[in-house]
Structure 1
Amino acid sequence: MLLPLMVQAQIALKNWTIEDHSGEVKIIVSGDTLEITAPKGLTLWYNQRLTSDYEISYRVKMLMQGGKYDRLSDLNCFWGANDPEHPGNLFARSEWRNGIFQHYKTLSLFYVGYGGNHNSTTRFRQYFAKAADTSDAIARPVIKEYTDKSHLLFPNKWYDIQIRVEKGITTYRINGEELFRLTIKNNEGDGHFGLRLLENHTLFTNFQVKSLKKK
């Protein structure tokens, strides 16, 4: 028996918390695939807090089909996210953040902005949980940046993304290429993953989390 579409959506999104600046995000569910239209800033948080050594993987495509929000920019993500004002409860200030990008400066996390700034930069930053009005150089300094075309977004192309926290190092790979690597402190990678989008239209599928801790 096929479940009603609304029930399917509820099941597919039960592991996720949505912070949506527009209040008009549209998510269409098909199996394990989410088609997401984000009119403004959107963070889709994975509810489970990840600890120790782990790997996050997923596939994503920027849809460019002539729609109102088909914008080739901002295939972004957060990981290791925590709110020092509310340890262990990232969602205590979820309504205040509400998808507003500046508000995420109050968290500690790692961030990749792939094809940001209207698809002109791909940047790796670390956030240090400062006030929302703190300058970027202090609150979220750039660790590494690409501006060449091969490391920016292409329309309607599938991207396989893999994020690892393992043995005191975190890495970000896309389509098999390691773009970013950083040595981190003990437990600094513990926290939540979030898919971060801005005024775009994406397919998000095959999300998986795997523990890398040896038994």
Structure 2
Amino acid sequence: MRRDTLAGLAGAMLLPAFARAATGRLLHRDDFRHGLGQWQIEAEKPATVRAQGGLLDIEAPAGLTLWFRPLLYGPLEIRYRAQAVAQGGPHDRVSDLNCFWMANDPALPDGDVLARPRSGKFEEYDSLQTYYVGLGGNGNSTTRFRRYVGSAGERPLLPENDRRGSEDMLVANRWQEIVLTADGNEITFLRDGQRLFAFQDDHPYTHGHFALRTTASHLKIRDFTVRALR
């Protein structure tokens, strides 16, 4: 066997589990070939959101949240590929690739975030109980993890979950793999196999909804899956 083949096999054996292909039981998927039936849009201003040809294409002039309709239960992994577009379009800012997961609304009897639509303004989501990551770029110079506690005006941020290095920021026109987990007390966010955030939650959110979130941006998404971890 050739030396470069052996080296490649050795490297694969050393990869951490989160960098390998997902193997858990498939719960949900969207290949973006059949429209937006699995998604609910909340947009601050009229936006263009299309799902066709294997791509979810989002062009948002202002705040936009795109909720995945199925209610999700942990332990689970959410995985998708995303690209921040910079091709000269009016919203090609490469500034926000964000997400909520395990989101609940404590003001509602069953906590269903879809039962009370919001306008798409970011501050209207403060009242949720959810995990959130904002992956920034260009003028948005931070990448942050937050555990929302369901109180308006509160977005708790621990110092170790506020990242500002260039290696933690968005890169234009490059497909990147995003992996979120909610596995009991362990909550993680990974990009291209690198674990950006690992949070130990003494009172974890064990079920809820997932959403993509952006502001004045152009994103493309593909290969969306949700899998059970056990």
Which TM-score applies when normalising by structure 2? Answer: 0.80
Counting only pairs closer than 5 Å after superposition, residues 57-206 of structure 1 correspond to structure 2 as: 57-86=79-108, 87-94=110-117, 97-115=118-136, 118-131=139-152, 134=153, 139-143=154-158, 144-185=161-202, 188-206=205-223
Provide the secondary structure at the position in 2 that maps to 1:85.
coil
- Corresponding residue number in structure 2 for 1:13: 36
Larger Rg: 2
- Please give the secondary structure, in 2, of the residue aligned with 1:103: helix
Residue pair 2:94, 2:138 contacting (<8 A) in 1 also: no
CA gap of 1:117–1:190, structure 2 versus 1, over 3 A, is farther
Residues 113-139 of structure 1 show CA distances to partners (whole Å, capped at 9, x for unaligned) of 1016823110111111112xx2xxxx1
Contact 2:132 2:147 in 1 (8 A): yes
How large is the RMSD of aligned CA atoms in angstroms? 1.7
In the alignment, the residues of structure 2 paired with residue 55 and residue 193 of structure 1 have an alpha-carbon distance, to the nearest angstrom, of 11
Q: CA deviation at 1:11?
A: 3.5
1:55/1:209 contact within 8 Å kept: yes
Looking at structure 2, the residues matched to 115 and 147 of structure 1 have their Cα atoms a distance apart, in angstroms, of 9
Gaps of 5+ in 1: 1-8
Number of aligned pairs? 196
Deviation at 1:186, TM superposition (A): 5.3
Q: Determine the structure 1 residue equivalent to 2:29.
A: none
Q: Could you state the TM-score of these two structures normalised by the residue count of structure 1?
A: 0.86
Separation in 2, partners of 1:111, 1:119: 16
Cα 1:10–1:83 shift into 2, 3 Å: farther
Which residue identity lines up with residue 171 of structure 2 in the other structure?
A: F
Determine what percentage of the aligned residue pairs are the same residue. Answer: 39
Match of 2:76 among 50, 54, 58: 54
Cα separation, 2, equivalents of 1:99 and 1:174: 25
CA distance in 2, matches of 1:78, 1:100: 14
2:116 maps to amino acid: R
Q: Which runs of 5+ in 2 are unaligned?
A: 1-31
For residues 46 and 34 of structure 1, what CA distance do their matches in structure 2 show? 13
Residue 5 of structure 1 is matched in structure 2 by none
Q: In the TM superposition, what is the alpha-carbon distance from 1:35 to its structure 2 partner?
A: 1.1
